[in-house]
Structure 1
Amino acid sequence: MADIQDYPTSSVHSAPDIIPLYEGYPPGSEKWNWEEKAVNASSWAPRIVYDVVTPAIQVFRPACANGTAVLIIPGGGYHWLSVDQEGSTVAQWLNEQGITAFVLKYRTVHSNSGHPLRDMLESWHCINQADREKLAAVQQMAVKDALLALAHIRDQAAAYRIDETKLGILGFSAGGAITLSAACCPLSVEKPAFLALVYPGVVDTATLSIPAGRMPMFLTVSADDWLGLAPATLRIAEKWMAAKQPCELHLYQNGIHGCGVTPKDVPMDGWKDRFTAWLRWNELLPA
């Protein structure tokens, strides 16, 4: 993967709410000629976007900022993005804690059918070599988009009134896998101050290059996650602790994959309080 400095960024002057990350076509997807779409999918994922061509971040500013900032990376199996359930709703909740939030819209796999949820489920069961290569390419693009977003936020820290030493990433599902891959990218100088992974997607932990500098990690997942992500999440925690990195893991008996911060009357609803307490312990929120 090329260093993030190889990619042109768009500068911000008036700090608009939605900021494109690239000037012109993003490298690697110059020939993508489809348009981004949004749909109300279901009660599980109320609003999603798919066929994302133009990576961007949306800024959510708190009424009283405390300097801490979080880049939120929604999930969606790389086929679509849960921009509300794991995006704007999360950002608004963080704003209530005084945290400045940025929701990343990263590139996704093109939906030929116009039904991205169905495409995702079908690909899991009958993925061929061509689809596997396509997915791997989009995964790499998503990591580059995340690193570029991180670089942009750090570069504009003064304009956003944030402390760049308190800039972290919070990733959900596939967004959790992107978060971990971005933090461990050996060729990038862009490193978050902390990580939070909520029911993170599977990552090959054997290939991870754990950063040398201190990078606390918060992990949470449920034992009954319908994607079976608990064992992989435990392996991430083991890898992090083996590298002598600070790590806090919450494994709940019951939860709902894709819930974000929306209460679902399950034990995993409590992860938000645990995360807030963890931020305070690591001096990322006022006591």
Structure 2
Amino acid sequence: MGLRRRDLFKAALLTGIASLVVRNDSLYAQLADRSSGPTTRWNRPANIAPDEIISLWPEHHLTIPKGLSEQIVQRSDDPLASDRIAQYITNPRLEIFRPATPNGAAAIIAPGGGYRYCVVDKEGYELARLLRERGVTVYVLFYRLPGDGWADAHDVPLVDAQRAVRMVRARATQDHIHPDKMAFIGFSAGGHVATSLLTRFDAAVYDPVDLADGASARPDAVIAIYPVVSMDPAITHVGSRDRLIGAHPNPAMTERYSPEQNVRDDMPPLFLLHAEDDDIVPIANSKRLHEAASAIGAAVEAHYFAQGAHGFGLMKTAGLPVSIWPELLWNWLHANKLT
């Protein structure tokens, strides 16, 4: 491959990747422009917005499927509770939330959406704000979706996840983070992105494109929240499975894209969170991964709650025991020396 990965990484830390910065969030502004009330009505929580947006890939690097055009759609009728989705993603990117006083920790958040879209507010911005207020630099990842016509569609979410981890490490100096204090958090189908990264962080799913790709794609911790994990038809989330590997995958494909069947000794510490009454993504997804990780002695902590259903995020836990989950996560991050 020519250049050594270590040399590439060192150069990336020195040079940065400023050429990938994107400062145009016109897609989000479209919703505010259409509002008859104040623009804050489209923010959940109010006034939350990224401090910077950076593209994952150099300009013109990706071949965008014909006719694909990204959209931001507002799903909420509540003017004080925005619930946007990003669909047909053509610009995979990181939206950065910077704390006033960085503590050196970093978190990449992969929202869910059944591999059909990415949930902007409920599974992205809400947790980003909470972590930012505690000193964590947060990167919300909007990854390409496998049903949108991309080449090598099975792997595009993992490709973007690997690239995101490498880019964040390459930006460590300019973003005031420690490159060895990086957590990757995934909700629902984003949990499949996260757990795929857990077991396939070093899979050769794309060729290096610039200096940032000299960095390791192994996160220092993986957090999976009501995650899609298995492609086993007995427990899988059918929509996510069908979009990722098709409705009738062969046994080899099912195994390859089922992280619980690919646990390894060198995977990062794992935190699992799931509700037993989840009728969208069965809790067996988390439990199978928990059991598989425990069986090889890997570091794993799991929290299961009787109530919460699917997609509870932060705002839909009021009055339930599961509402304590952000504190459980925070304590776990601290215990693992990531904060």
Shorter-chain TM band: 0.7 to 0.9
Secondary structure of the corresponding residue to residue 91 of structure 2: coil
2:55 match = 20
Which stretches in structure 1 are left out of the alignment for 5+ residues? 112-133
Contact map agreement 1:68 1:167 (CA 8 A) in 2? yes
2:87 match = 50
Change (3 A) 1:75 1:146: same
1:82 match = 119
1:117 match = none
Change (3 A) 1:39 1:31: closer
| 1:63 and 2:100 aligned | yes
| 1:262 and 2:315 aligned | yes
| 1:196 and 2:236 aligned | no
Counting only pairs closer than 5 Å after superposition, residues 109-258 of structure 1 correspond to structure 2 as 137-185=152-200, 186-187=202-203, 189-204=216-231, 207=256, 208=259, 209-213=262-266, 215-258=268-311
Aligned-partner Cα distance in 2 for 1:136–1:226: 32
Change (3 A) 1:137 1:230: farther
Aligned-partner Cα distance in 2 for 1:13–1:54: 14
Deviation at 1:25, TM superposition (A): 4.2
1:99 match = 136
1:283 match = 337
Aligned-partner Cα distance in 2 for 1:45–1:181: 29
The structure with the largest alpha-carbon Rg is 2
Deviation at 1:137, TM superposition (A): 4.9
Aligned-partner Cα distance in 2 for 1:179–1:11: 24
Aligned-partner Cα distance in 1 for 2:55–2:109: 16
Aligned-partner Cα distance in 2 for 1:204–1:26: 31
Letter in 2 for 1:36: E
1:118 match = none
Change (3 A) 1:214 1:142: closer
Aligned-partner Cα distance in 2 for 1:157–1:217: 23
Contact map agreement 2:20 2:56 (CA 8 A) in 1? no
Q: Which stretch of the first structure deviates more once superposed, 253-262 or 141-150? A: 253-262
| 1:41 and 2:75 aligned | yes
1:30 match = 64
Contact map agreement 1:66 1:162 (CA 8 A) in 2? yes
TM-score, with length taken from structure 1: 0.80
Change (3 A) 1:214 1:263: same
Aligned length: 255
Aligned-partner Cα distance in 2 for 1:142–1:77: 12
Change (3 A) 1:141 1:32: farther
Deviation at 1:229, TM superposition (A): 2.1
Aligned-partner Cα distance in 2 for 1:48–1:204: 24
| 1:271 and 2:325 aligned | yes
Aligned-partner Cα distance in 1 for 2:74–2:153: 23
Aligned-partner Cα distance in 2 for 1:273–1:180: 22
Deviation at 1:182, TM superposition (A): 1.7
TM-score, with length taken from structure 2: 0.69
